[in-house]
Amino acid sequence: MANRSDTKTRILDAAEKLFAERGFSETSLRLITSKAEVNLASVNYHFGSKKELIRAVLARYLDVFMPAAANAIVAVRQENADASLDAIFSTLVAPLLDLNQLRAEGTTTFLQLLGRGYIESQGHLRWFITTHYGEYLGLFVNAVAESAPHIPPAEMFWRLHFTLGTVVFTMASADALTEIAEADFGEHNDIEAVIRKVIPYLSAGVSVPLTKDVI
């Protein structure tokens, strides 16, 4: 079978596409295996359960993205110890776009999966991400915190979650939003354009002075 990848990969490829488009709980194993043209029982043979398939799909991206993002952040801060918030966020653009070389539509798929993962799961994906990739997340949080030293930690906690929400929701709805923008404003946006639009929004929100500081 020359032109046919192995069953495990076929399942992962079909699953990630469907999960990104429709969400996890709206995607049945039957739908995945029929798109992948493999037998239904092979999912449980290769992955054990649907939950573990979901984690495997996410891990395939996170294992590539997280180290790349961490390296990029370390590099930019070595060059410039006072890198701006905008610079920190912008550092993530290249690692994100590199995912397109991993797989077609890799960037969009990854961000949508991440969005779905944080929104949908009743905790098991949040837990999976924070325990398996916690050091990378910590590195990122530190970089942001030090770029906005006037924001106290508790406030920063909230603002980073606001940021997570913005990104996650935008990416989960990215397809719909680009379609509307095209229809209503004649704008043509790919995923990079959307990412570049959201960065100034995020930086401004994260670094805005506390209300009580404003006179």
Partner DNA sequence: GTCTATATATAGATAGAC
Partner DNA sequence: GTCTATCTATATATAGAC
CA dihedral angle for residue 78, residue 81, residue 82, residue 85, rounded to 10 degrees: 40
Q: Is 29 in the site for DNA (CB under 7 A)?
A: yes
The least distance separating DNA from the CB of residue 23, rounded to whole angstroms, comes to 11
Determine, following the binding rule CB under 7 A, whether residue 97 of this chain makes contact with DNA. no
Instruction: State the burial class of residue 50 (Cβ atoms within 10 Å of its Cβ: 0-12, 13-18, 19+).
Output: middle
Q: Using the rule CB under 7 A, is 49 a contact of DNA?
A: yes
Question: In the complex with its own copies, which residue's Cβ is closer, 138 or 200?
Answer: 200
Partner whose binding site includes residue 105, from DNA, its own copies, none (CB under 5 to 8 Å by kind): none
Using CB under 7 A, which of 12, 14, 18, 38 touches DNA? 38
On the CB side of 189, CA atoms within 13 Å amount to 24
Q: Does 22 bind DNA (CB under 7 A)?
A: no
Q: How far is the CB of 125 from its own copies (least distance, A)?
A: 13
Note whether 93 and 202 are within 8 A (CB).
no
| Rg, Å, the chain Cα set | 19
